[in-house]
Structure 1
Amino acid sequence: MSADVDQPTVINLWATWCPPCRREMPALAEAEARHGDVRFLFVNQGEGPETARRFLAAEELRLKDMLFDGTMAVPRHYGTAGIPVTLFLHADGRLAKAHMGEIAPEQIDAEIRRLER
Protein backbone atom coordinates (compact mmCIF):
# COMPACT_ATOMS: atom_id res chain seq x y z
CA MET A 1 0.00 0.00 0.00
CA SER A 2 1.58 3.27 -1.04
CA ALA A 3 0.54 6.87 -0.60
CA ASP A 4 0.62 7.77 -4.29
CA VAL A 5 -1.43 10.92 -3.73
CA ASP A 6 1.56 12.73 -2.22
CA GLN A 7 -0.08 13.54 1.09
CA PRO A 8 0.28 12.19 4.61
CA THR A 9 -1.97 9.20 5.25
CA VAL A 10 -3.56 7.72 8.37
CA ILE A 11 -4.64 4.08 8.11
CA ASN A 12 -6.90 2.68 10.82
CA LEU A 13 -7.32 -1.10 11.09
CA TRP A 14 -10.60 -1.94 12.83
CA ALA A 15 -13.63 -4.22 13.13
CA THR A 16 -17.15 -3.70 14.45
CA TRP A 17 -16.77 -6.44 17.11
CA CYS A 18 -13.74 -4.69 18.68
CA PRO A 19 -14.74 -2.42 21.65
CA PRO A 20 -11.59 -0.20 21.51
CA CYS A 21 -12.11 0.21 17.75
CA ARG A 22 -15.68 1.33 18.34
CA ARG A 23 -14.63 3.79 21.07
CA GLU A 24 -11.90 5.47 18.99
CA MET A 25 -13.89 5.72 15.74
CA PRO A 26 -15.64 9.06 16.55
CA ALA A 27 -12.26 10.71 17.31
CA LEU A 28 -10.81 9.39 14.04
CA ALA A 29 -13.86 10.61 12.08
CA GLU A 30 -13.50 14.06 13.66
CA ALA A 31 -9.77 14.12 12.87
CA GLU A 32 -10.55 13.23 9.25
CA ALA A 33 -12.99 16.16 9.07
CA ARG A 34 -10.43 18.56 10.64
CA HIS A 35 -7.41 17.51 8.56
CA GLY A 36 -8.48 17.89 4.95
CA ASP A 37 -4.86 17.71 3.79
CA VAL A 38 -4.41 14.21 5.24
CA ARG A 39 -5.82 11.07 3.64
CA PHE A 40 -7.61 8.73 6.07
CA LEU A 41 -8.17 5.10 5.15
CA PHE A 42 -10.40 3.01 7.39
CA VAL A 43 -9.54 -0.64 6.71
CA ASN A 44 -12.05 -3.06 8.16
CA GLN A 45 -10.49 -6.38 9.12
CA GLY A 46 -12.34 -9.51 8.08
CA GLU A 47 -15.91 -8.21 7.90
CA GLY A 48 -18.16 -7.49 4.96
CA PRO A 49 -19.29 -4.09 3.74
CA GLU A 50 -22.85 -4.50 5.05
CA THR A 51 -21.67 -5.17 8.63
CA ALA A 52 -19.45 -2.09 8.60
CA ARG A 53 -22.10 0.13 6.98
CA ARG A 54 -24.71 -0.90 9.58
CA PHE A 55 -22.31 -0.02 12.40
CA LEU A 56 -21.38 3.36 10.86
CA ALA A 57 -25.03 4.23 10.24
CA ALA A 58 -26.04 3.29 13.80
CA GLU A 59 -23.22 5.44 15.19
CA GLU A 60 -23.93 8.27 12.70
CA LEU A 61 -20.31 8.22 11.52
CA ARG A 62 -19.35 9.51 8.08
CA LEU A 63 -16.02 8.27 6.73
CA LYS A 64 -14.64 9.14 3.29
CA ASP A 65 -12.54 6.08 2.44
CA MET A 66 -13.56 2.65 3.74
CA LEU A 67 -11.67 -0.43 2.58
CA PHE A 68 -12.24 -4.09 3.38
CA ASP A 69 -9.32 -6.41 4.11
CA GLY A 70 -10.85 -9.87 4.28
CA THR A 71 -7.46 -11.61 4.14
CA MET A 72 -5.76 -9.38 6.75
CA ALA A 73 -3.11 -8.36 4.20
CA VAL A 74 -2.52 -4.88 5.67
CA PRO A 75 -1.43 -6.03 9.16
CA ARG A 76 0.82 -8.66 7.56
CA HIS A 77 2.39 -6.01 5.32
CA TYR A 78 3.13 -3.69 8.27
CA GLY A 79 3.95 -6.47 10.75
CA THR A 80 1.27 -5.54 13.26
CA ALA A 81 -0.83 -7.83 15.43
CA GLY A 82 -4.27 -7.24 16.85
CA ILE A 83 -6.62 -4.30 16.42
CA PRO A 84 -7.10 -1.45 16.60
CA VAL A 85 -3.92 -0.25 14.92
CA THR A 86 -3.46 3.25 13.52
CA LEU A 87 -0.66 3.72 11.00
CA PHE A 88 0.76 7.15 10.20
CA LEU A 89 2.51 7.45 6.82
CA HIS A 90 4.56 10.30 5.42
CA ALA A 91 3.46 11.81 2.09
CA ASP A 92 5.99 9.57 0.30
CA GLY A 93 4.42 6.43 1.80
CA ARG A 94 7.06 5.70 4.45
CA LEU A 95 5.68 4.48 7.75
CA ALA A 96 6.26 7.07 10.47
CA LYS A 97 4.49 5.32 13.35
CA ALA A 98 2.29 2.33 14.12
CA HIS A 99 0.11 2.98 17.16
CA MET A 100 -1.17 -0.26 18.67
CA GLY A 101 -4.39 -0.15 20.67
CA GLU A 102 -6.96 2.56 21.22
CA ILE A 103 -5.73 6.02 20.28
CA ALA A 104 -6.72 9.26 22.01
CA PRO A 105 -7.78 12.34 20.01
CA GLU A 106 -4.73 14.33 21.13
CA GLN A 107 -2.43 11.50 20.00
CA ILE A 108 -4.00 11.54 16.53
CA ASP A 109 -3.41 15.27 16.19
CA ALA A 110 0.15 15.05 17.55
CA GLU A 111 1.12 12.31 15.08
CA ILE A 112 -0.42 14.23 12.18
CA ARG A 113 1.56 17.34 13.15
CA ARG A 114 4.75 15.25 13.04
CA LEU A 115 3.85 14.00 9.55
CA GLU A 116 3.28 17.50 8.23
CA ARG A 117 6.74 18.76 9.20
Structure 2
Amino acid sequence: MRPWWDGADNGSGSVLGIVLVSLAAMGLVLVAMVGNLLICRGRAQTAADAAALSAATALYEGRDSPCVRAASVAAANKGTLTTCTVEEEDVLVDVGVDTSVLIVPRVVQSSRAGPVDCG
Protein backbone atom coordinates (compact mmCIF):
# COMPACT_ATOMS: atom_id res chain seq x y z
CA MET A 1 0.00 0.00 0.00
CA ARG A 2 1.33 3.41 -0.99
CA PRO A 3 0.99 6.46 1.26
CA TRP A 4 -1.65 9.05 0.30
CA TRP A 5 0.94 11.67 -0.59
CA ASP A 6 2.44 9.36 -3.19
CA GLY A 7 -0.53 9.49 -5.63
CA ALA A 8 -2.70 6.88 -3.90
CA ASP A 9 -5.77 9.09 -4.31
CA ASN A 10 -6.01 8.84 -8.12
CA GLY A 11 -9.64 9.05 -9.26
CA SER A 12 -10.92 10.78 -6.14
CA GLY A 13 -11.59 13.93 -8.18
CA SER A 14 -14.09 12.02 -10.33
CA VAL A 15 -15.99 10.86 -7.27
CA LEU A 16 -15.99 14.37 -5.86
CA GLY A 17 -17.26 15.73 -9.18
CA ILE A 18 -20.10 13.19 -9.26
CA VAL A 19 -21.06 14.10 -5.69
CA LEU A 20 -21.08 17.83 -6.49
CA VAL A 21 -23.18 17.36 -9.65
CA SER A 22 -25.62 15.16 -7.69
CA LEU A 23 -25.95 17.77 -4.95
CA ALA A 24 -26.56 20.51 -7.51
CA ALA A 25 -29.23 18.38 -9.22
CA MET A 26 -30.96 17.68 -5.90
CA GLY A 27 -30.88 21.39 -5.10
CA LEU A 28 -32.51 22.24 -8.42
CA VAL A 29 -35.21 19.62 -7.86
CA LEU A 30 -35.88 21.05 -4.40
CA VAL A 31 -36.16 24.58 -5.80
CA ALA A 32 -38.56 23.36 -8.50
CA MET A 33 -40.72 21.57 -5.90
CA VAL A 34 -40.92 24.61 -3.64
CA GLY A 35 -41.71 26.82 -6.63
CA ASN A 36 -44.53 24.53 -7.72
CA LEU A 37 -45.98 24.50 -4.20
CA LEU A 38 -45.92 28.30 -4.01
CA ILE A 39 -47.59 28.66 -7.41
CA CYS A 40 -50.29 26.13 -6.49
CA ARG A 41 -50.84 27.84 -3.14
CA GLY A 42 -51.42 31.13 -4.92
CA ARG A 43 -53.82 29.50 -7.38
CA ALA A 44 -55.73 27.86 -4.54
CA GLN A 45 -56.03 31.16 -2.65
CA THR A 46 -57.20 32.99 -5.76
CA ALA A 47 -59.76 30.28 -6.51
CA ALA A 48 -60.96 30.29 -2.88
CA ASP A 49 -61.34 34.08 -2.82
CA ALA A 50 -63.26 34.12 -6.11
CA ALA A 51 -65.46 31.20 -5.04
CA ALA A 52 -66.29 32.82 -1.69
CA LEU A 53 -67.13 36.15 -3.31
CA SER A 54 -69.37 34.60 -5.95
CA ALA A 55 -71.11 32.43 -3.35
CA ALA A 56 -71.69 35.43 -1.08
CA THR A 57 -73.08 37.38 -4.03
CA ALA A 58 -75.42 34.51 -4.92
CA LEU A 59 -76.56 34.31 -1.28
CA TYR A 60 -77.13 38.07 -1.12
CA GLU A 61 -79.07 38.15 -4.40
CA GLY A 62 -81.09 35.07 -3.43
CA ARG A 63 -80.40 33.29 -6.72
CA ASP A 64 -79.05 29.77 -7.07
CA SER A 65 -77.37 27.77 -4.33
CA PRO A 66 -74.24 29.58 -3.12
CA CYS A 67 -72.21 26.38 -2.82
CA VAL A 68 -73.06 25.31 -6.37
CA ARG A 69 -71.89 28.72 -7.56
CA ALA A 70 -68.71 28.43 -5.48
CA ALA A 71 -67.94 25.00 -6.95
CA SER A 72 -68.40 26.35 -10.47
CA VAL A 73 -66.09 29.31 -9.88
CA ALA A 74 -63.47 27.13 -8.15
CA ALA A 75 -63.48 24.74 -11.12
CA ALA A 76 -63.13 27.67 -13.53
CA ASN A 77 -59.98 28.63 -11.60
CA LYS A 78 -58.56 25.07 -11.83
CA GLY A 79 -59.45 24.26 -8.23
CA THR A 80 -61.76 21.87 -6.43
CA LEU A 81 -64.23 23.03 -3.80
CA THR A 82 -63.63 20.83 -0.75
CA THR A 83 -65.95 22.48 1.76
CA CYS A 84 -68.61 25.17 1.61
CA THR A 85 -70.39 26.47 4.69
CA VAL A 86 -73.02 29.19 4.96
CA GLU A 87 -73.07 30.95 8.35
CA GLU A 88 -75.86 33.53 8.47
CA GLU A 89 -74.80 35.94 5.69
CA ASP A 90 -71.20 34.73 5.38
CA VAL A 91 -69.86 31.99 3.14
CA LEU A 92 -66.76 29.99 4.08
CA VAL A 93 -65.06 27.88 1.41
CA ASP A 94 -62.01 25.65 1.15
CA VAL A 95 -60.53 25.11 -2.31
CA GLY A 96 -57.83 22.60 -3.20
CA VAL A 97 -55.41 22.59 -6.12
CA ASP A 98 -53.41 19.53 -7.18
CA THR A 99 -49.62 19.93 -7.25
CA SER A 100 -46.84 18.19 -9.16
CA VAL A 101 -45.03 17.34 -5.92
CA LEU A 102 -45.40 13.71 -4.85
CA ILE A 103 -45.03 14.31 -1.11
CA VAL A 104 -47.61 17.15 -1.13
CA PRO A 105 -50.27 16.11 -3.67
CA ARG A 106 -52.70 18.95 -2.91
CA VAL A 107 -52.73 22.37 -1.28
CA VAL A 108 -55.93 23.73 0.25
CA GLN A 109 -56.70 27.38 1.00
CA SER A 110 -59.67 28.93 2.81
CA SER A 111 -61.62 32.11 2.23
CA ARG A 112 -64.59 33.86 3.76
CA ALA A 113 -66.92 36.43 2.21
CA GLY A 114 -70.03 38.26 3.29
CA PRO A 115 -71.40 41.71 4.00
CA VAL A 116 -69.52 44.02 6.32
CA ASP A 117 -71.29 45.12 9.50
CA CYS A 118 -72.05 48.83 9.52
CA GLY A 119 -72.03 49.22 13.26
Pairwise TM-score range, normalised by the shorter structure: under 0.3
Q: Rg larger in 1 or in 2?
A: 2
TM-score normalised by L of structure 2: 0.23
